[in-house]
């Protein structure tokens, strides 16, 4: 694709200059910038982008500025220039909202879908962006599962509660709704939600059924689940496997996993970690909804991973902002009230702030949680630290 565009780019620019139409010339320069950027010729790409801006200023054209700012945002973001890219995107989308633009001469659906995802993630012109997505049917090449604000047709919450939203509205399941379709949905997510072998699901939901009976039951439950969700393709069945369609379905646990993946490798992981923690409202399906070993393992893995990341960020603040350190360790204990390493770190952070009452409160909370959930007392290490910090 890039090779073909490279072949046509000089002729496109020549014809635009020959015609003498300022708008066509601006569009040709902006498209040239995109082509050269795709080839990695960044200096020449910037030159064409600057020329597009110049023509737009000469024309006093908001439309050309809209296109040029979108192009600038694309180039900057794909080069890793986050701040400049988001600034350009904010200007472009503000112009687009004011003028009611829903299309342009440089519109490439995949590029615009990606820019819309970045805008929603950054909280830029959210209403306008969601309108663009709906009106133009934009679908990113890689579904932005970490962006809850994307207008997902179906949203499924599994952390601390079970809730399904369709087109932004919570679904109410009446008494006539049989349990198996929802059990199928929960089991699918517990098994990962993607490319789940049918045999795993049948063994989990119909362990006593024989042969074809389990397959008939699965087909029936799948049909009813699709009807409940209101979209036939929400659950894909192909070659003996089941998957939730990531272009249509958002699942909170997927979002937390993606955010943690990004945070674990980021130089400044605070915002990503905060967003992941914000989506974590409790154990997976309260760890009671689905009696599957996979569900228990999934819940434990996610809890430990999030806890580890919260502790990592808290330690980054220990020498910089002691109050911020306290906030991160408090969040860690919200995720797991029995996490003694978080309790010890929190007690130490409160001690440094000379808040002795909070040291004692943190210890009592951890002791109470350990007794209630695990029938345990705090470890010798935790008890000794508390006594030391309390001057006992």
pLDDT digit string, tens, across residues 5-27: 567 677 777 887 888 899 999 99
Give the model confidence (pLDDT) of 187-220 as tens digits: 999 999 999 999 999 999 998 887 789 999 999 9
What average pLDDT does range 285-295 have in this prediction?
65
What CATH class is the domain 318-392?
A: mainly alpha
End-to-end CA distance of the chain: 73
Burial (Cβ within 10 Å: 0-12, 13-18, ≥19) of residue 27: buried
User: In sequence order, what DSSP letters do the residues of 5-66 get, joined into one string?
Assistant: HHHHHHHHHHHHHHHT-HHHHHHHHHHHHHHHHHHT-HHHHHHHHHHHHHHHHHHT-HHHHH
**pLDDT score of 289:** 53
Question: Tokens 């049948």 label which residue?
Answer: 202
**pLDDT score of 70:** 98
Give the model confidence (pLDDT) of 358-372 as tens digits: 999 999 999 999 999
Residues 6+ apart with CB under 8 A from 190: 284, 285, 290, 292, 294, 295, 298
What CATH class is the domain 2-136?
A: mainly alpha
Which architecture characterizes domain 146-297 according to CATH?
Answer: Orthogonal Bundle (1.10)
What average pLDDT does range 261-268 have in this prediction?
94
- Domain residue ranges of the chain, discontinuous segments joined by +: 2-136, 146-297, 318-392
The whole model's pTM is what?
0.87
**pLDDT score of 287:** 53
Shared fold status for 2-136 and 146-297: no
């Amino acid at each position: 694709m890039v090779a073909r565009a490279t072949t046509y780019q000089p002729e496109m620019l020549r014809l635009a200059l020959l015609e003498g139409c300022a708008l066509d010339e601006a569009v040709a320069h902006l498209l040239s910038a995109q082509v050269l950027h795709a080839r990695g010729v960044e200096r020449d790409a910037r030159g064409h982008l600057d020329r597009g801006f110049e023509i737009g200023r000469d024309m006093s054209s908001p439309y050309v500025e809209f296109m040029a700012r979108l192009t600038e945002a694309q180039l900057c973001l794909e080069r890793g220039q986050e701040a400049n890219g988001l600034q350009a995107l904010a200007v472009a989308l503000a112009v687009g909202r004011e003028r009611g633009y829903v299309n342009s001469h440089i519109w490439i659906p995949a590029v615009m879908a990606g820019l819309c995802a970045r805008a929603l993630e950054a909280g830029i012109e959210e209403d306008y962006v969601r309108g663009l997505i709906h009106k133009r049917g934009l679908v990113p090449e890689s579904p932005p599962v970490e962006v809850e604000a994307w207008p997902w047709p179906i949203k499924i919450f599994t952390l601390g509660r079970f809730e399904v939203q369709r087109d932004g509205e919570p679904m109410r399941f009446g008494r006539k709704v049989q349990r198996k379709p929802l059990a199928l949905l929960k089991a699918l997510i517990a098994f990962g939600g993607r490319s789940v072998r049918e045999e795993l699901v049948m063994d989990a939901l119909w362990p006593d059924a024989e042969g074809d009976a389990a397959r008939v039951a699965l087909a029936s439950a799948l049909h009813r689940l699709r009807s409940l969700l209101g979209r036939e393709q929400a659950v894909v069945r192909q070659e003996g496997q089941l998957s939730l369609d990531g272009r249509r379905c958002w699942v909170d646990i997927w979002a937390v996993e993606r955010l943690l993946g990004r945070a674990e490798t980021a130089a400044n992981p605070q915002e990503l970690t905060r967003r992941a923690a914000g989506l974590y409202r409790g154990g997976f399906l309260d760890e009671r909804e689905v009696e599957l070993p996979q569900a228990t393992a999934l819940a434990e893995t996610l809890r430990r991973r999030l806890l580890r990341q919260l502790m990592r960020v808290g330690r980054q603040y220990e020498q910089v902002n002691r109050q911020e350190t306290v906030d991160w360790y408090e969040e860690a204990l919200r995720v797991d009230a029995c996490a003694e390493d978080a309790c010890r770190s929190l007690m130490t952070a409160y001690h440094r702030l000379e808040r002795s009452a909070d040291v004692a409160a943190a210890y009592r909370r951890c002791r109470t949680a350990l007794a209630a959930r695990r029938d345990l007392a705090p470890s010798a290490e935790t008890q000794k630290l508390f006594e030391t910090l309390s001057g006992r």
